Amino acid sequence: MNRRRLLKRLAEGVLKNVSFTDFRNLVEGFGFRLTRVTGSHHIFTHPNISELVNLQEVKGETKPYQIRQFLRLVERYNLRLEEEE
């Protein structure tokens, strides 16, 4: 799913059944980079933000509470989605 379409879906409140691969692509689209993986935890950092983004893949999907945390972070720091390659 493309980044903008996924973001629109999440903004509408549809947080269940979100593919981990699609959500990871969205997170990276906001400028975050995967820095380490510890067990099932994927840790992302952003060059301009001190907070980390922690995502877990469960049966190929992202946990809804982690999606909410990420969306609040995007809003708090007024992040913009980069253009897709």
* Domain regions of the chain by residue span: 3-76
State the pLDDT at residue 85.
56
> How far, in Å, CA of 53 to CA of 49, rounded?
10
State the pLDDT at residue 83.
77
CA proximity to 60, closest of 27, 28, 26, 16: 16
Average pLDDT across each block of 10 residues of the chain; the chain has 85 residues. List them in order: 95 96 97 96 96 96 97 96 76
Q: Does domain 3-76 have CATH number 3.30.920.30?
A: yes
pTM reported for the whole predicted model: 0.93
